[in-house]
Structure 1
Amino acid sequence: MAKTTFAKTRLMAPVGIRILSTSQSSQKEVTVAPLIEQRKNRPLSPHLTIYQPQLTWYMSMFHRVTGGAVAVGFYAGAVGYAVAPMVGMGFDAAAITSVIATVPVGAKIAAKFIVAYPFTYHCLNGIRHLAWDTTRFMTIKGVYQTGYAVLGLSTVSAVALALI
């Protein structure tokens, strides 16, 4: 049982101090074991794998991934441009052109496509989302039509940019 005593100090009014008696041990260890066993028998929440995959899932996920990839690429280029002179590397147009001139044509086209596709996809899908903000194409048919249009146009535009 708890007992309260009061202590007086010269600077403060009386302060209550509780003195606790610990005559019995804590029951926490005893009550935790049944809870752990009960939790093992609880049903699990449904996972995404029980649902049928849909175009909208993949496009939403890919929109986020491409946005991150474009941002990381932009910042990596900016940091590289700023740091390269400090470490003695040439990061000017002449140095970049001389390095790219040694790369085979097929590798250049593939690299340009890999850089262009996330950018074009993210831009076109962003335009699709802006159209949704005006409540256009908000039917299931409209969502899928614009989704396939974004996929097709981003592929065609990335190929066109890669071939430049």
Structure 2
Amino acid sequence: MATLAARPAARSALSLVARSSRMSGHQLIPLIIARRSESTQSITPTEANDILIKQRGNRPTSPHLSIYKPQITWYLSGLHRITGVALSAGVYALGLGYLLAPVFGYSLTSAAIASAFGTLPVALKFGVKLFASLPFTFHSFNGVRHLIWDTASALTNKAVIRTGFTVLGLSAITSLILALW
């Protein structure tokens, strides 16, 4: 009985859709009458996992970095992250060393560090200072570069590449000066 009462409403809706879409009501009836019958089944968690593994096998894989032309922008981005981690790890290592040195009977005061560094050969002093100054200068100059980008300046492709090489040059020159000092 309810389906008989719903038929006039369905016909008026069909005629409204038919008028707006320029289709006749007879063309729209199969769209309303067609139904999909779906069924569900219970499966165990291992079967569900097997289905999931099969579905993952059908997914396309991304080509990753092998298809891209290496550019200075992503080299410097990775290097900026690596130097940031290295600098923070160095700060934490020095802090822990300063806290734990008295426990093991060592003195990690500035005078002790300066006298130990003074006994090193000149080439080793240069290497240690270069090893410490290069990540610091690169991370600092690249950070300034990012601050310039935050002002919406130097964002064209040419400017990004030019500032990238500028950061590399300034980092090399400054760290050499600091290592020779």
TM-score range, shorter chain: 0.7 to 0.9
Q: Give the Cα–Cα distance (whole angstroms) in 1 for the partners of residues 144 and 73 of structure 2.
A: 15
Alpha-carbon shift at residue 41 of structure 1 (Å):
4.2
Structure 1 stretches of at least 4 aligned residues deviating more than 6 Å after TM superposition: none
Residue 56 of structure 1 corresponds to 73
Query: Could you state the TM-score of these two structures normalised by the residue count of structure 1?
Result: 0.76
* Cα deviation 1:57-89 (Å, max 9, x = unaligned): 110111111111111111211221222123210
1:85 equivalent among 93, 102, 106: 102
Alignment of 1:25-104 (within 5 A): 27-28=43-44, 33=50, 36-104=53-121
Q: Give the Cα–Cα distance (whole angstroms) in 2 for the partners of residues 87 and 96 of structure 1.
A: 16
Q: Give the Cα–Cα distance (whole angstroms) in 1 for the partners of residues 125 and 116 of structure 2.
A: 11
| One-letter amino acid of the structure 2 residue matched with residue 92 of structure 1 | T
Deviates more, 1:95-104 or 1:145-154: 95-104
Closer/same/farther in 2, CA of residues 86 and 32 from structure 1, 3 Å limit = closer
Closer/same/farther in 2, CA of residues 39 and 79 from structure 1, 3 Å limit = closer
Partner SS state of residue 136, structure 1: coil
Query: Could you state the TM-score of these two structures normalised by the residue count of structure 2?
Result: 0.69
| One-letter amino acid of the structure 2 residue matched with residue 27 of structure 1 | I
Does residue 145 of the first structure (1) align with residue 162 of the second (2)? yes
Q: Give the Cα–Cα distance (whole angstroms) in 2 for the partners of residues 74 and 133 of structure 1.
A: 27
Closer/same/farther in 2, CA of residues 33 and 89 from structure 1, 3 Å limit = closer
Closer/same/farther in 2, CA of residues 41 and 156 from structure 1, 3 Å limit = same
Does residue 110 of the first structure (1) align with residue 127 of the second (2)? yes
Q: Per residue, is there more helix in 1 or in 2?
A: 2
Partner SS state of residue 70, structure 2: coil
CA RMSD of aligned residues (A): 2.1
| One-letter amino acid of the structure 2 residue matched with residue 156 of structure 1 | I
Closer/same/farther in 2, CA of residues 134 and 36 from structure 1, 3 Å limit = closer
Alpha-carbon shift at residue 32 of structure 1 (Å):
5.7
Q: Give the Cα–Cα distance (whole angstroms) in 1 for the partners of residues 48 and 164 of structure 2.
A: 54
How many residues were matched structurally? 140
Residue 7 of structure 1 corresponds to none
> Which has the higher Rg, Structure 1 or Structure 2?
2
* Structure 1 gap ranges (5+): 1-24
